[in-house]
Structure 1
Amino acid sequence: MITDEIMPLTLPDTQNADGLSQSQDSQPVPIIWGRLCPNNLTLKTMEMIKDEYTMGRSDSCDICFTKDNIKPKWLGVISKVHCKIIKERIINGNNDDIVVYLEDTSQNGTFVNKVLVGKGKRILLESNDIISLAQPVFAVYVFMSTKAFEGNDLPPELRCKYAVSRKLGSGACGEVKMVFSKIGCKRFAMKSIVKRTFSSGPRNLLNDPEKIMNEVKILKTLKHPCIIKMEEIVDTPRTVYIVLELMEGGELFDRIKGTNGLPEPITKIFFYQMVLAVRYLHERGITHRDLKPENILLADNAEVTLIKISDFGLSKLVDAETMMKTFCGTPLYVAPEILKTHGRGAYTSQVDIWSLGIILYACLSSAMPFSINDQNKGLQEQILSGRFCFPHSKFGKITYRAKELIKRMLTVDPKKRATINQVLLDPWLKDRSMQDVVHDLMRNKLGENFGPLIDLGAKYNNNKLNEIETCKTVIKRPRFK
């Protein structure tokens, strides 16, 4: 559960023979990331190594159009700086994404594949895109990327809109990749779920063609600031593609990992948003059934930010055995009533309350209330008995009300367990300042993608709010043994 991890340290070999033989004056070889291939014989190929290129009539342009390389009738309709081609590096944690786009700066228009970009607007460039100036028929260059985006396997209706970038993750129901819209260069997450046919062998409900659209139907009906937004859905005979808003801050799991627990005021802001989202679901007869820090996504990397709950498709796609293992291998977040019947009995939306209790405990302590390492009692026995404690090393500075709320949620009998409305009215969450912060996040138009700046010191009068003590203890992703 909680372990000290010592990661092996690999040092670069800076003293090899090749390194010593290089001249101190040697310069790195420029990397060619793209080429502009001319559409007529009078223009020259441009090998692209800089981050920005301009084309137009001005002598200062990287590609200068003159009467020597194009006809006078076209030269008269080209602006001094007609367009720019820009390579941009977008940093996402430890990963970098390279995006190439064209920006139209002309009076008479720049066209990509005969589609007008529009002055001041940008469009993503991919290999084989044709660039035309002033009119669609006046094609001057074809852009060729040395590292083309993936996405040739996408259906045409998605391939014409999006370019596929790196893989973001994968789970029980599919793979997730970052995609860029070709118009506007906006980033999204695209989940692909491969359908299965079952002519023989056991049925895998996670890929059952008859049930796979459940996620889509659920997502289409949900509209809440703290629930992930679906942009569009494309259903093909073999694969379902779901385009979702991209949450820049990653998973709550990663925010908790590597800390000694999140500050209680920060936890309260996150948890209040979770409760509002779950109440919204329960009011519509929807039980999530797989709430865990991995399915809580953060809008950005700010300490205070909007959160969104994801992966609703799993709420009815799963079979009993998969439900027992909660897709991670261990039933750390599963309610005792599910364990009692091995997932085959009837249970209510109260299972989400139990999961919320586990999440709250984890946020405050970076630990789990039930341990897979207990030598005296197995994990399932611990959960069924509902016995856990609040170690002083983890909860010594946590308020009494927060711990009482956890107890109310981690009550074994679902009939005695707090309901979502009772959780919402709990004294710990009756914090007007905290609620104002959350409501500001939810109302803010930028809150869909960026957490607004908030003076937490004024809200909470806590000068140490931003001091998060890091340590070597982490929550390990559960593994079933």
Structure 2
Amino acid sequence: MCDYKQSQIPTQAVYETNTQNEDELNDKLQENIWGRLLPIGSAFYRYDLKNDLTTFGRRQDCDYHITKDSPVCVATAYSNVHFKIKREFSIKTGHHALLEDLSTNGTFINGQRLGKGRIQALKNNCEIALSKPENKAFIFIDLDNSDDNIYPKELKNKYTITKTLGKGAYGEVKLAFEKNTCEKYAVKIISKKTFTMNGRHKINLDNQIMSEINILKKLEHPCIIKIKEVIDTNETVFIILELVEGGELFDKIVSIEKYDELTAKFLFYQMVLAIKYLHDQGISHRDLKPENILLTSSETKETLIKVTDFGLSKFFDEFSVMKTFCGTPNYLAPEVLKTKGAAAYSNKIDNWSLGVILYICLVGFPPFSDENPKLSMEEQIIQGVYDFPYDFWSTISNEAIDLIKKLLCVDPDERITLEEVLDHEWLKSSPDTIQKAHDLMFPNGSRKRSNDQVVSSQSQEQSNCKKQKI
């Protein structure tokens, strides 16, 4: 029940050092610490497991005591003794950590309810939730069976690396806890063997890689994932990133089917400002899709967004990157498909991707489909063949449709610029929504809207890019 998919990316290096961090080892020996609970939820705190039996609950004599007047206890129904963790030893198999559920409302291991009176073995990086699966409390760390030996000392000294958060074209992402503060971060692990330039694999790109990543580290925008630090080794790059816990835009759309137009506008405005900021810094995203738009909160639709995985795609084969979403190039611009990613192209490829994302936000499905019997998806994209089916688009404004058409313009020279997007009637027609989004991004009034939004009384004439219909 506790197994996470934690296999390393195929090309990840295994480091020579097999020893634990010296400070951590000394602490463990001096205090007999055999396990650790790292807090996921903000109401919980780190707890070192030293005894063979540890109890958790509201009762005053519990080892981990939740007081009756604490916010977490008021909001959630915990039992007097909610669960206990015991350590057992067998000559044949060694030590094992076991969790016993003693609660009425349940203890969850990796999202699965255990049930009162049931016992489950805990494996390294198991996730423990209390009373309901979304009330995540701890990650269990087995100090006797830690995976730390595969990480370099520079990383282990600062962070405890735990469960896998995801895998993608650029490697694996792990959850990490900073040792001094217990702050949570995401660690992107990228093997240099996967880097390519100009269609050819190259490993000796250290200077160029670090130069590019150092540029990314300097980025400062509320809708851009912040890079905390980078740890570079001979074969692997570890990028420590701000952790965003509200999930992906893709998963949110799947769960709610689609956004209403005002909420889509609220989110899309942030996306445009984030991508425009990257473009102003000379950076193209090149792999923009709903999976790379993260939400800071899952509780509300009107949330701050964070763009991630920007700037790295130039080190990867474009055609392999485009297949990371269901094996299809849903979000790639026509000029990329025409040249198989081999030619130079402008940052307007991101504008095309924004058009696809906006279309999906409004109706819950993409403009291009494998279900067209006459044209493959690639041909639909290259020719700009899509439509706005009446049953789905009849309640959506003409201004929204017009903006999508201008973004999904096959000719990049005629495709609308991001300055023109910000000046488009669809955004300008809802000043309250735009102001609300801006206030969320800059809550202390740290930045005036005029710095981001280009509003011209004599805006350039919009290109009239016509599309074929299916």
Shared fold per TM-score greater than 0.5: yes
Shift of 1:385: 1.6
Pair 1:154-2:159 in alignment: no
Question: Counterparts in 2 of 1:53-64, with a 5 A limit?
Answer: none
Residue in structure 1 matched with residue 401 of structure 2 by the alignment:
403
Kindly provide the amino acid, as one letter, of the partner of residue 439 in structure 1. H
Kindly provide the amino acid, as one letter, of the partner of residue 398 in structure 2. Y
Residue in structure 2 matched with residue 194 of structure 1 by the alignment:
191
Pick closer, same or farther for the CA change 1:348–1:38 going to 2, 3 Å: closer
Residue in structure 1 matched with residue 51 of structure 2 by the alignment:
46
Q: Distance in 2 between matches of 1:340 and 1:283?
A: 26
Residue of 289, 298, 301 corresponding to 2:295: 298
RMSD value over aligned CA atoms? 3.7
Identity %: 47
**Paired residue secondary structure (1:196):** helix
Residue of 262, 266, 270 corresponding to 1:269: 266
Shift of 1:434: 1.1
Residue in structure 2 matched with residue 21 of structure 1 by the alignment:
none
Pick closer, same or farther for the CA change 1:414–1:348 going to 2, 3 Å: same
Kept after mapping to 1: 8 A contact 2:127/2:140: no
Kept after mapping to 1: 8 A contact 2:230/2:240: yes
Q: TM-score, normalised by structure 2?
A: 0.64
Pair 1:97-2:140 in alignment: no
Q: Distance in 2 between matches of 1:177 and 1:246?
A: 10
Kept after mapping to 1: 8 A contact 2:283/2:311: no
Question: Counterparts in 2 of 1:62-141, with a 5 A limit?
Answer: 97-98=127-128
Q: Distance in 2 between matches of 1:291 and 1:206?
A: 26
- Runs of 5+ consecutive residues of structure 1 not aligned to the other structure: 1-34, 40-44, 64-85, 100-123, 128-144, 448-481
Pick closer, same or farther for the CA change 1:152–1:368 going to 2, 3 Å: same
Kindly provide the amino acid, as one letter, of the partner of residue 442 in structure 1. M
Residue in structure 2 matched with residue 243 of structure 1 by the alignment:
240
CA deviation map 1:400-419 (0-9, x unaligned): 11111101100111111100
Kindly provide the amino acid, as one letter, of the partner of residue 127 in structure 2. D
Residue of 265, 281, 285 corresponding to 2:282: 285
Residue of 372, 375, 378 corresponding to 1:374: 372
Q: Distance in 2 between matches of 1:98 and 1:207?
A: 42
CA deviation map 1:383-427 (0-9, x unaligned): 122121111232222111111110110011111110010011111
Question: Counterparts in 2 of 1:18-33, with a 5 A limit?
Answer: none
Q: How many residues align?
A: 337
Residue in structure 1 matched with residue 257 of structure 2 by the alignment:
260
**Paired residue secondary structure (1:403):** helix
Kindly provide the amino acid, as one letter, of the partner of residue 172 in structure 2. E
Question: Counterparts in 2 of 1:208-223, with a 5 A limit?
Answer: 209=206, 211-213=208-210, 216-223=213-220
Pick closer, same or farther for the CA change 1:422–1:184 going to 2, 3 Å: same
215-224 or 265-274, which moves further after superposition? 215-224
Kept after mapping to 1: 8 A contact 2:356/2:366: yes
Residue in structure 2 matched with residue 137 of structure 1 by the alignment:
none
Kindly provide the amino acid, as one letter, of the partner of residue 381 in structure 2. I
- Runs of 5+ consecutive residues of structure 2 not aligned to the other structure: 1-27, 33-49, 65-83, 86-106, 113-124, 130-137, 447-470
249-258 or 436-445, which moves further after superposition? 436-445
Shift of 1:188: 0.8
Kindly provide the amino acid, as one letter, of the partner of residue 313 in structure 1. G
Kept after mapping to 2: 8 A contact 1:97/1:165: no
Residue in structure 2 matched with residue 392 of structure 1 by the alignment:
390
Residue of 163, 166, 172 corresponding to 1:166: 163
Shift of 1:148: 5.4
CA deviation map 1:250-280 (0-9, x unaligned): 1111011143311211111111000001111
Pick closer, same or farther for the CA change 1:281–1:97 going to 2, 3 Å: same
Higher relative contact order (CA closer than 8 Å, sequence separation 6+): 1
**Paired residue secondary structure (2:193):** coil
Kindly provide the amino acid, as one letter, of the partner of residue 47 in structure 1. D
Pair 1:364-2:369 in alignment: no
Q: Distance in 1 between matches of 2:144 and 2:298?
A: 29
Residue in structure 1 matched with residue 436 of structure 2 by the alignment:
437
Kept after mapping to 1: 8 A contact 2:185/2:240: yes
Pick closer, same or farther for the CA change 1:218–1:98 going to 2, 3 Å: farther
Kept after mapping to 2: 8 A contact 1:252/1:296: yes
Pick closer, same or farther for the CA change 1:318–1:50 going to 2, 3 Å: same
CA deviation map 1:285-334 (0-9, x unaligned): 21111110011111121222110111123332133533554676322111
**Paired residue secondary structure (1:368):** coil
Q: TM-score, normalised by structure 1?
A: 0.62
Residue in structure 1 matched with residue 175 of structure 2 by the alignment:
178
**Paired residue secondary structure (2:256):** coil
Pick closer, same or farther for the CA change 1:320–1:206 going to 2, 3 Å: farther
Kindly provide the amino acid, as one letter, of the partner of residue 46 in structure 1. N
Q: Distance in 2 between matches of 1:269 and 1:393?
A: 24
Query: Which structure has the greater CA radius of gyration?
Result: 1
